């Protein structure tokens, strides 16, 4: 499903925030085993300048079995339009609804962005709490500097990455793809990953 923006995109501030097509954006692979959505809970101008996001985005898209797209917090005018029209939050690259991805990875750079995570999950139609999500929902991951103290937000995430994300994200992707090839579901993937990365899992603990 691709979200159609033509009817209202010109009515929101800075529509380029949502249209993608930037120079050097990687081409998405057909039938990727893992579809990962890199999320930053702030507006496009702040999020797109973050070097950590760029590094992880590049690492995942270099994998032959993975597509990584991006999603940033929309400005309130765009959020209102999506709510009014009954449209879910979507990725920048293909305008695919967030809830259709296998994994959503949120980069938590500062405490004031925590409520924006809930704002994005609400717009995406994804349950807030890990305990309320099931096999049909994406795996929700937290990473970034704020994970040194995960207590304030631990109930909202399935996986919390402590420390540098480059090695962890590769291992998470590898284990997910292996589990999927073996016929396992997302909940099984969480169980397998629990002991193989510098992560904690919430749903199964």
**Is 107 part of a structural domain of the chain?**
yes
Residue 151 lies in a domain: yes
Q: Scanning the structure block, which residue is given the tokens 């925030």?
A: 17
Contact residues for 156 (Cβ-Cβ < 8 A; gap 6+): 117, 118, 121, 128, 129, 130, 140, 142
What CATH number did the domain enclosing 99 receive? 3.40.50
Rounded to two decimals, the pTM is 0.91
Domain for residue 123, yes or no?
A: yes
Asked whether residue 85 is assigned to any structural domain, the reply reads yes
Q: What per-residue string of b and e applies to 139-153 under the rule 16 or more CB within 10 Å gives b?
A: bbbbbbebbeebeeb
Query: What does the pLDDT read at residue 202?
Result: 56
In a domain, 48, yes or no: yes
Per-residue pLDDT of the chain (205 residues; tens, 9 = 90+): 788 999 999 999 999 999 988 888 889 998 999 999 999 999 999 999 999 999 999 999 999 999 999 999 999 999 999 999 999 999 999 999 999 999 999 999 999 999 999 999 999 999 999 999 998 999 999 999 999 999 999 999 999 998 888 888 998 999 899 988 988 887 777 766 554 455 555 543 3
Asked whether residue 20 is domain-assigned, the answer is: no
CA separation for the pair 37, 39 (Å, rounded): 6
DSSP-assigned letters across all residues of 80-137: HHHHHHTPPPB-TTT--BGGGSSEEEEE--SGGGHHHHHHHHHHHT--SSGGG--TTS
Task: Write out the residue range of the structural domain in which residue 131 sits.
Answer: 37-201
Is 103 a member of any domain? yes
| 27 assigned to some structural domain | no
Number of domains in the chain: 1
């Amino acid at each position: 499903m691709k979200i159609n923006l033509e009817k209202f995109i010109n009515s929101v501030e800075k529509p380029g925030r949502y249209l993608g097509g930037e120079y050097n954006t990687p081409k998405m692979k057909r039938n990727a085993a893992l579809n990962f959505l890199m999320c930053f809970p702030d507006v496009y101008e702040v999020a797109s300048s973050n070097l950590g996001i760029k590094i992880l985005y590049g690492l995942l898209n270099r994998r032959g079995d993975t597509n990584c797209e991006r999603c940033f917090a929309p400005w309130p005018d765009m959020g209102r339009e999506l709510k009014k029209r009954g449209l879910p939050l979507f990725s920048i690259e293909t305008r695919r609804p967030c809830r259709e991805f296998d994994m959503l990875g949120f980069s938590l750079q500062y405490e004031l962005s925590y409520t924006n995570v809930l704002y994005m999950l609400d717009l995406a139609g994804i349950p807030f709490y890990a305990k309320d999500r099931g096999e049909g929902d994406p795996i929700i991951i937290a990473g970034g500097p704020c994970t040194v103290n995960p207590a304030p937000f631990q109930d909202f995430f399935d996986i919390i990455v402590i420390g540098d994300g480059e090695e962890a994200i590769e291992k998470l992707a590898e284990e997910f793809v292996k589990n999927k090839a073996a016929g396992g579901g997302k909940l099984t993937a969480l169980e397998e990953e629990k002991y193989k990365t510098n992560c904690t899992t919430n749903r199964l603990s």
